[in-house]
Structure formats: structure tokens, C-alpha cells
Chains A and B, each alone.
Chain A
């Protein structure tokens, strides 16, 4: 049968559009637009915006993890919203409101579970990554029956999740191999007021920052029987603590070779730690209170942004010399930095200027800029393959 000529043209058009070259997700990412409750789906090969997805609720401090195929981004909103975004189709796949006040999330080693940490009600809730249906609730109730806010939630090898109880000074290691009946190992009295945590890229060491005392607490996930140990305790000793206008983040780990670079609290410094011994090996003086210290892929340079009133600045630290090698003033309200997978470019969000700046890491020059409404976090799909991110 010969189709009507006009029909044939339509058929041809249809074929042409559906046969557009397939595209991967390895160069995609999400930029949070905090004021609008929306996210931008972007690509960083030629630095452009592909879609905007709105209606995701309160996204101040939102964070993202990715499915292992890099197709879906799971967005954790401040208001307890959990949204699953389809990066290729450019649409919201599913959204639930899972708590009142949430702080972050993680994806399990096998990619099947999403864990969300909450302030209100304090605890961790675990969902199926496929349809966001609920699997299990872990209320953060301490040994004396008091509820606590949860911070520093990360995934760890062995289908585990690790997190800290801010108001109870505990660290919990949850084995979710049998997700409905997870086994929980609790460490108590770990140090006063953990506020955030990181896991090293090899998935071995969990380190939580303490607000209530100088120092951090370390847990070796290969040797849980050794228990938790304070590290760098008293790094501010003998010095007046400077006020902190924004809490530092540890989750954007800066591990370069054998060294970890961690933001100090109440001091304008990065602390340098040997990750074999967890002893302090140096300090880097900075211009203000650091918020994020993020290592470029490869670890040569550490990029640092700052709390108010220095949140218009970035300093770049050389990991070999432990010296500041570059001072940058990209614009007002620097909130986050994200590197392309091999580190030739960095995207910088400028909340107060409604744009994202794109810089070349080799010479710190500006490559371009994109409009975004009060951009905060930037998350590239390369995270889907990294432990703890």
C-alpha cells in the first residue's frame, strides 16, 4: 500500500525527530535554583542549559545524588521533599514529601535504595530508588530516649549508610543488606555536636566535624571494633574562636593524595591531615571562614569558598606547597563549586548575581557564564560513580 503523499511526509518527519542522535548522560548535571524551587538540567561539554524543572518546593541547601546509570537525579529539598528527575526526558518522574525538615541524602552501593536524613522528625528514612516507596524508618532516638537531628549521611561499601546524631553525639552505621530489617551499630559519646561529615573516596574513613568542641571524630569502617577516635582535638587551642557566619561543609571532600584538607571552624584556616595516621600535618591561612574545600579531580589544587562577609571570594590552594596560589573574586554570593569529571573546568554558583560562572582550572580564566535564578548547589552526574557523593 502506498500512503498518501502528505502522510508520507509526516511519517518521514516523525522518523527524523525520533531518530535524533542518542545522547549519554555523562556530561549532564543539575543546578539548584533556590529561590524558584526549580532545577536546571545542564550539559558541560558546551556549557548550556537543556531544561528547567519547576515545582520542587523549598530548595535552599538542596543536594542531589544520581542513579548509577546517570539517568535520574534525586533532589533532596530542605522542606523534606524528595524529587526524582529524569535528565534525558527533562521531566519530573516522581516527587514525595517525606518529612518536615530535611538536610541531605545518599544512594546505596547497589543503587536500589535512597536514604534521606531529617531534622524534623529527626532520623533517616529509606526509600526504593525505583518508585520512592517507603522501605524503612530509622528514628534517631538516643540511649536516653531523646530525639536528635541527623547530619553527615553518606553511603559506604557493604550496602551501608553512615550518619551522625547532632543532638546526641552519636554515629550510627546501618547495614541495609536486608533493607526491611537493617542492622544498626551505634557509637556513643563521639564528641560534642557533630554538624557534618565526609567519607574518604575509598569508602574506608568516616570523619565528622564537631561544633561543640575543637576537632573532628574519625571512624575506620574497615575496623569498626576500634571504635571512634577524636582527631585534631584542640586545633583552636589558645586562640579566640572567631564567629562563624555559615557552617562549613565537609561532604565535598578534599582528599589529595595522602592528605585531606578540612575547613576549620572558628578559624580562618584549612587543616591538613595525613589520611594514614589522621594526624595534623599543616595548616593553610585563608582570608575568611572556609565553607567548602573541594579538590580538583587529581587533587593538585583545592578550591575554597567562604562564609559571609567574604562570600564573594575563592582561594585556590596548591596541595603540594600548601600555599594559596590564586585569589579570585568571581562575584557576589559564591555558594558552590563543581568540577567537570576530569577537572578542566569548574562551575561556580553566584547566588546574588543570578548566574553560574564557568572557569578554566589551568589558568583560572573565565570561559563563560549562564543565567540561573539564585543558583546554589551544582551537581554533575560523575557523582553517580563515586562513593559518598
Chain B
């Protein structure tokens, strides 16, 4: 495919500027996960979180994580539970495997009524 060099330059410049100025897409944090990593996170949610919260996250040994339950909650609180677990319960800390940006992305996704 052939792109007009002028348009390409403009596009590159825009990319550069957005990078420097930290232009964000809605819902993404400082270290928002890449597209490939998002795929891994969705798998983690379904497989590993699903082993306690149910594969559809509707609840199992752990409570339901569906938007009906979580959408009105404080996002920071959800991020904290994900990263540090709930001591004294079966909810383990995921900090060794998730960055704060990734936990934020997961929390936002869990709260969204209609993710993607």
C-alpha cells in the first residue's frame, strides 16, 4: 500500500506529539497495557480469576465480579483488592504478576457494563 509521504510525515509527527504530551485514550492509565498484553489479561481473568470467581465471573468460591455488583464501586478500592488481596480471606495479592496500570485496566473492565 502506498501512502502519500506528506500524510505519513503528518501522521508520524502526530504520533510523536501524542507520545510526548502523554495523550491518553479514555480509560487507560499511565502504563496502560499493550493490545497483546490485554489479550493475556483477559485470559488471566477468565482462567485464573475464574478458578475462584467462576469462568463467567458470576461467582463461585469467591463472589461475583459482574458489573451489576462492581460498577458502582470505587475503582481505587477494586484496584487495591486486586493488587494486595484481602488478608484473612482466599483472595490473593496479584502484585507479583500485575502492574498498577494493568490492575487499573482490569478493574475498569470489570466495572464496565459493556466492555469493548
Q: Mark A237-268, 1 if CB is under 8 A from B, else 0.
A: 00000011111000000000000000000000
Contact A34 B85 (CB under 8 A): no
Tell me the minimal C-beta distance from A354 to chain B in angstroms.
Answer: 13
Tell me the minimal C-beta distance from A60 to chain B in angstroms.
Answer: 3
Q: At the interface, is chain B mostly helix, strand, loop or mixed?
A: loop
Residues of chain A having any CB pair with chain B under 8 Å: 34, 58, 60-61, 78, 101, 103, 119-120, 149, 195, 211, 243-247, 308-309, 333, 351-352
- Additional A-B contact list (11), CB under 8 Å, known A60-B55, A247-B90: A58-B56, A101-B58, A101-B60, A103-B60, A119-B59, A195-B61, A244-B92, A245-B48, A247-B51, A247-B61, A351-B47
Give the docked Cα–Cα distance between A78 and B60 (Å): 9
For the complex, is B54 an interface residue (Cβ under 8 Å from A)? Answer: yes
Q: Mark B35-75, 1 if CB is under 8 A from A, else 0.
A: 00000000000011011101110111100000000000000
Q: Which listed residue, B52, B54, B59, touches A247 by the CB 8 Å rule?
A: B52
Q: Which listed residue, B48, B56, B85, B93, touches A308 by the CB 8 Å rule?
A: B48
Q: Which residue of A lies closest to B85 (CB)?
A: A243
Give the docked Cα–Cα distance between A386 and B59 (Å): 31
Residues of chain B having any CB pair with chain A under 8 Å: 47-48, 50-52, 54-56, 58-61, 85, 90, 92-93, 97
Give the docked Cα–Cα distance between A286 and B56 (Å): 31
Tell me the minimal C-beta distance from A104 to chain B in angstroms.
Answer: 12
Give the docked Cα–Cα distance between A58 and B60 (Å): 13
Tell me the minimal C-beta distance from B42 to chain A in angstroms.
Answer: 13
CB-CB under 8 A from A211, the residues of chain B are 90
Contact A243 B55 (CB under 8 A): no
Give the docked Cα–Cα distance between A352 and B47 (Å): 9
CB-CB under 8 A from B48, the residues of chain A are 245-246, 308
Q: Which residue of A lies closest to B95 (CB)?
A: A243
CB-CB under 8 A from B58, the residues of chain A are 101
Tell me the minimal C-beta distance from A242 to chain B in angstroms.
Answer: 9
